[in-house]
Structure formats: structure tokens, C-alpha cells
Amino acid sequence: MGKPTGFIEYLRELPLDRDAVKRIKDWKEFHLHMDEGKIREQGARCMDCGTPFCHTGQLIGGMASGCPINNLIPEWNDLVYRGLWREALDRLHKTNNFPEFTGRVCPAPCEGSCVLGINAPPVTIKNIEVSIIDKGFEEGWVVPETPVARTGKKVAVVGSGPAGLSCAAQLNKAGHLVTVFERSDRIGGLLMYGIPNMKLDKSVVQRRVDLMAKEGVAFVPNTEVGKNYPAEKLMKDFDAVVIATGATKARDLPIEGRQLKGIHLAVPFLHINTKSLLDDKSGPDFISAKDKDVMVIGGGDTGTDCVGTSMRHGCKSLVQLEILPRPPNDRAANNPWPEWPKVYKMDYGQEEAAAKFGADPRMYCITAKKFDGDDKGNVKAVHTVGIEWAKDDQGRFVPKEIPGTEKVMPAQLVLLAMGFLGPEESLLDQLKIEKDSRSNAKADFGKFATSVKGVFAAGDARRGQSLVVWAFNEGRAAARECDRYLMGTTDLP
């Protein structure tokens, strides 16, 4: 696809980011736009590689390799190169309900398995994707598409995050009457309140929600099924139910001093911050990093978002503790293509901290041992210790403390971003849904049916904490199986 010699003629280029020091003064998206001619050149780098791996969506070594929603990447790369943007948008929408989201926040496992990436920088797939959908909105090509006919079947989707929205969109296309329940005051789940505005502007989320509402999807915010909406009523009023509540039970750090004020789980910190931004006011529960020594414990996207948010608050200093070793600069021998490349990189938050404070804020192979407080019950310092990874008696790698590496670091705000343990269990228990060994809703991948007839589960609520793009995969697939259950057959992809 693309130009046969494009991968030889053109180097990989991405749009510039706004200056790291300047962008922490606001909450606007930090990426700049790229000239259309340059984007077409990047599309030309797609190789006509014969057997593309970019769209395979496999799990290799426990991580995604290729696009989990099987985007037709070589096809729309070629169409962009040829200037056929409308046709590229049509190809993109065949597999992806919300490319404006994946093009902004997906970590791009497609690029990790790009064939060109074996011995050269891969194609800029993610940027081409978001450029296609942004142009589609700019040109007015993205419009509400209401179903031709209604089936009369009613489906409840519990949760309006990535899995819930993609499931609702597909079920609505099939002609069902879809109602999406969301406990927060705004629709979008993780997309609205879990990802900061500078990475995903909330007007982009609201634009898609408004579009879905015009297509016939009913949204019910401020409603937590199992609390202020009885679970029994859900089963009585709807022909089928899809659980897409996410894996919101965060991993905590139960060490000495955890009860001190100023120690918070990451997602509430991010949620409250975005809500204050959208409401244009700070409520009594607002958590500020201004003029504080901040410690973020944990990595991943959530840790990075805590770093970026703290930088915009105007923190005094910032460190980020990672229990794992620093990744290598290049692929290790045991991490070959087309596996996801486990290599060192600076994400936007770390770039900003480095620009202001002079160095990457991350410290590797280190963990917190104890929190110290002041006489008012506020956290003031964190005791840490270095660790090394060694095999235990059963051959598993476990962290072991290194004597003599103890430190005490100042911190008046500690943010815990250590991942998630599974979904909150109240709704699953009320519906008597069987759970797996990790407390997720038990439902086979590909079928998505739970132990309760007519109830399906998708996304993190079923698979545990994972990528946004896997949630989209599962939401679409659960919609297909729900449609099959309701109608006896399905035409959904």
C-alpha cells in the first residue's frame, strides 16, 4: 500500500508537541497539527508488505501485538497517500466507532508490530488515524446515522466508558433501543473523567456523545445501577443487559501511615480535577498539587496523567516511583518484533517534569515503605527502599529489598497509581453473576455471556485492567453476541 518506495524516500515524522514549559500553563491538548502534505507522505511509507501485522490484534507475551480492533490500516494509509480522505474515513469507520479517541490515547500496538519497524522507524499509524477522523469532522462527513428500522428490543448498557459506548453504538446500529446508565454526572466514563483534558479534550468526547444521542441512544447520567437504580428493575425492564462498568477497584498501598491526609488514589484525583475544570469551579473535595512536593507511586498511563496534572497545578517538586527496572533503550533479545517493544521512552508528563525540574522524574526499582505525618495528620515524607528482582523458591521473580538503600523523601501529596484489581463487586453480587479468580465478571471471550441469562460483560469488567482499544474490541464483540441472543442471528461485524 502507499507509494512502493515511500518507506525508502521518507523518514518517520510526527507533528510537533507544544513547548513543554509553556503547555503546563493550560489544559489544552499538547499535540500540534501536521501539514496535510506531510501526512500523505507518512501514508506513503506503508510498505505493501504482503503480510501486514499491524492489524492482527494478537496477544503475544501477554501484551497486544497489532490493532485489537483490526483496523484496516494498510488500506487507509494508501487512501490517505492518494488524497482520498473520505474513502479513508469510510474504511476507518468499518472497524472503529471512535477513531478520535484511539487516535489520541491508544498506545499504538499497531506501530509496535509494523513490518517496517523490524529495521526502521514504523509508520506513524496513530497520527494518520486521528488526522483522518479530525478531517472528517472538519469537512462535515461525520453525521448522525439512525437505524433504518427498530427491533423493539430494549438493551441496558451499564457504564459509559470505552466498552459501554462502543457496545451501545453497535447495538443501536442493529436497531435495538439502547439505554446507557452512568453513575457520574457526565457520560464518557474513563474517557471523560479518567483521562486528563490535555490528552483528550472533553469537547471531543461530548461531540461523540451528542452524535450518539441524535442517533437514538438514550443516556442516563447520575444513576448507579444497584444503588439509586435497583438491579431487579434493570432485569425486569430490559430484554438484555451489558455490564461495562470497568475495573475501578484500585490497588492500594497498605503501609504504615496510609491513613494520613494527602495520600490519594490516582483516579479520584484525576476525576475531581477534570470535573473542576469542566464546572469552572473547585469543589470542597478538590485535590491540589500547587506548591507541594508530589510523589506519584506507580507508572503506566495513569501515573503519567498524575504527573502531567500535578505539573499544571504548579507543584514544587515531583518524583515518580517505579518498582520495575528501567526499560532498555532498544529492544532486548527476549522482546523481538512483532511483540510490543518494551523500551524506555518519555511520555508527555515526564517530558514536562524534565523540562521544568531538569530530569526524568522516574526512579526505578524502588518502593515506598512508610509514610510520615506532621502533627496535624498530613503526610510530610515517604520512606523508600531500593529493590532487586530475584527468583523465589518456585522460580517466580519477586522484589527483594536492598539493605542500605533506604531514603526519606519530602512529600505533601502522594498519588497511588498502581493499577486496578477488578470491578466493584456490588452490582455483580446483586445480579448474582459468577466471577472468575480475579473477581472479574466470568464470561468467555468471544461469547461475553455471563452466568445470568441475557446478561453480558465486556471490557475491563470482564478482562481486568487493559487498554482502551481492547475495551472497544470487547464492546463491539459483546454487542454482536447480545444481538445474536436477542434476534437469533446477527449482521454486526
Written as nine digits, the cell of 353 is 517534569
pLDDT given for residue 1 in this prediction: 60
Residues 442-493: pLDDT tens digits?
Answer: 999 999 999 999 999 999 999 999 999 999 999 999 999 999 999 999 999 9
Tell me which residue has cell 473535595.
285
Q: Answer yes or no: same fold for 6-138 and 154-248+421-487.
A: no
CATH superfamily of 252-418: FAD/NAD(P)-binding domain (3.50.50.60)
CATH number of the 154-248+421-487 domain: 3.50.50.60
Q: For residue 95, what pLDDT is reported?
A: 97
* Integer Cα distance of 263 and 274 in angstroms: 19
Which three-class secondary structure state does DSSP give residue 82?
A: coil
- Whole-model pTM? 0.95
State whether residue 145 is helix, strand or coil.
Answer: coil
Other beta carbons less than 10 A from residue 375's beta carbon: 6
Phi-psi region of 308 (alpha: psi -120 to 50; beta: other; left: phi over 0): alpha
Class of domain 6-138: mainly alpha
Q: What is the CA radius of gyration of the chain?
A: 23
Rounded-to-integer distance, Cα 486 and Cα 155, Å: 9
pLDDT, one tens digit per residue, over 41-81 is 999 999 888 899 999 999 998 899 999 999 999 999 999 99
Query: Is the separation of the CB atoms in 263 and 286 below 8 Å?
Result: no
Grid cell listed for 30: 499538547
Ranges in the chain, pLDDT < 50: none
* Residue 346 CB-density burial (10 A; 0-12 exposed, 13-18 middle, 19+ buried): middle
E strand intervals along 32-137: 58-60, 63-65
Domain boundaries, the chain: 6-138, 154-248+421-487, 252-418
β-strand pairing of 154-158 with 218-220: unpaired
Q: Yes or no: say if 428 and 460 are a contact pair by the CB < 8 Å rule.
A: no
Taking a C-beta distance cutoff of 8 angstroms, is the pair 72, 435 a contact? no
